């Protein structure tokens, strides 16, 4: 309801923000949830609000139904636009705090978590008054330091590709241990069998990237959303906190591998 999307490889139709999706049921469920990918709704399967939607609807607005209150709906959607990046930052902070190697910055990360959690639990007016850019700027130094501490654990000093345009790059089997891939554009990149251990992946765009056989164990800031947008297979090794995307079982095999195995 709240977010817009455009007809593309990810969505089969256009939808303005604030308009209900045609697949939205009366009980707020999705009428094609089990068939999203084959019916062209890939964008839905890789989206994650990190719990911001539930926070807004069930906590900030205490379960109020936007269908019966247009004014509440507009405020709810505005609050969600702030709550979503707040919850995303909380997810990154939680990842960093879960690592013993980032202990030197744990105190700073805990302070950031406390501030973000207090904002997430505040009333609608307080949330709407928050400056998302300022929040990111305040938390980012601690996240960057934590990422560097993880990267320092790599036996190899990895390359720095922060913000780099690596769309379609041929990186099969590349040694990217300890690399900085913060904000890197890796759309459609060939990362088969690449070693991404201890790499910083915050904000990396992995849409359509092939991670078949890649090793991401110990990488930092990898999210389920990023990996769901990529391709992988049973041999892809993931960070402990990230679930293997279900569609990888049928879509993750590289073309030449599929031809060889007859799959």
Could you read off the pLDDT tens digit of each residue along the chain, which spans 263 residues?
888 999 988 899 999 988 889 999 988 899 999 899 899 998 888 888 899 999 999 999 998 888 877 778 889 999 999 999 999 999 999 999 999 999 999 999 999 999 999 999 999 999 999 999 999 999 999 999 999 999 999 998 899 999 999 999 999 999 999 999 999 999 999 999 999 999 999 999 999 999 999 999 999 999 988 999 999 999 999 998 788 988 886 554 444 443 333 33
Whole-number Cα distances in Å, 26 to 3, 17, 21, 52, 231: 18, 19, 11, 21, 33
Specify whether the CB–CB gap between 102 and 142 falls below 8 A: no
52/54 Cα distance (integer angstroms): 5
Tell me if 17 sits within 8 A of 2, measured CB to CB.
yes
pLDDT score recorded for residue 118: 98
Residues 132 and 175 in one domain: no
User: Containing domain of residue 23, as a range?
Assistant: 1-45
Does 118 lie in the same domain as 81?
yes
Residues 179 and 216 in one domain: yes
Same domain, 147 and 163: no
- Does residue 33 sit within a domain? yes
Cα separation of 100 and 153, whole Å? 11
Phi, psi angles (nearest 5°) of residue 113: -60, -40
Q: What is the pLDDT of residue 112?
A: 97
CATH number at residue 202: 2.160.20.80
Rounded to an integer, what distance in angstroms lies between the CA atom of residue 211 and that of residue 231? Answer: 6
**Which residue shows structure tokens 């991401």?**
216
Instruction: Looking at the structure, tell me whether residues 98 and 183 fall in a common domain.
Output: no
* Judgement on whether residues 134 and 89 belong to the same structural domain of the protein: yes
Domain boundary among 10, 28, 45: 45
Q: Are residues 146 and 167 in the same domain?
A: no
Instruction: Provide the domain count of the chain.
Output: 3
Asked if 191 and 102 sit in the same domain, the reply is no
Whether residues 182 and 146 fall in one domain: no
Residues in the chain, how many? 263
Given this model, what pLDDT does residue 137 score? 97
Token duo for residue 74: 């507009």
Return d(Cα 218, Cα 200) in angstroms, integer.
Answer: 9
Structure-block tokens of residue 167: 């769309």
Question: What number of other Cβ atoms are within 10 A of residue 173's Cβ?
Answer: 13
Domain edge (last residue) among 123, 151, 179: 151
Place of tokens 């915050």: 202
Q: Is residue 200 part of a domain?
A: yes
* Same domain for 114 and 181: no
Last residue of a domain, one of 151, 180, 207: 151
> Is 260 part of any domain?
no
64 and 130 together in one domain: yes
CA nearest neighbour of 102 among 170, 172, 198, 27: 198
């Amino acid at each position: 309801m709240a977010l817009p999307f455009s007809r593309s490889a990810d969505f089969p139709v256009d939808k303005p923000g604030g308009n209900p999706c045609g697949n939205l049921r009366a009980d707020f469920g999705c009428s094609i949830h089990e068939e999203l990918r084959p019916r062209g709704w890939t964008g839905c399967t890789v989206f994650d609000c990190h719990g911001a939607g539930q926070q807004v609807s069930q906590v900030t607005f205490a379960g109020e139904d936007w269908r019966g209150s247009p004014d509440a709906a507009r405020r709810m959607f505005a609050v969600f636009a702030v709550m979503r990046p707040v919850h995303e930052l909380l997810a990154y902070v939680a990842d960093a705090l879960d690592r013993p190697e980032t202990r030197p910055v744990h105190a700073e990360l805990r302070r950031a978590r406390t501030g973000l959690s207090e904002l997430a639990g505040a009333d609608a007016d307080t949330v709407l008054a928050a400056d998302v850019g300022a929040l990111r700027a305040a938390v980012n130094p601690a996240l960057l330091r934590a990422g560097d501490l993880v990267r320092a654990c790599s036996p190899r000093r990895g390359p720095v590709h922060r913000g780099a345009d690596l769309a379609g790059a041929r990186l099969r089997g590349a040694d990217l241990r300890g690399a900085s891939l913060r904000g890197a554009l890796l759309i459609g990149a060939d990362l088969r069998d690449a070693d991404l251990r201890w790499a910083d992946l915050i904000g990396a765009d992995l849409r359509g990237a092939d991670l078949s056989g890649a090793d991401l164990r110990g990488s930092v800031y990898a999210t389920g959303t990023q990996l769901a947008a990529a391709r992988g297979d049973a041999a892809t090794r993931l960070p402990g906190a990230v679930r293997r995307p279900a569609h990888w079982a049928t879509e993750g095999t590289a073309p030449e591998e599929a031809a060889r195995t007859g799959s």
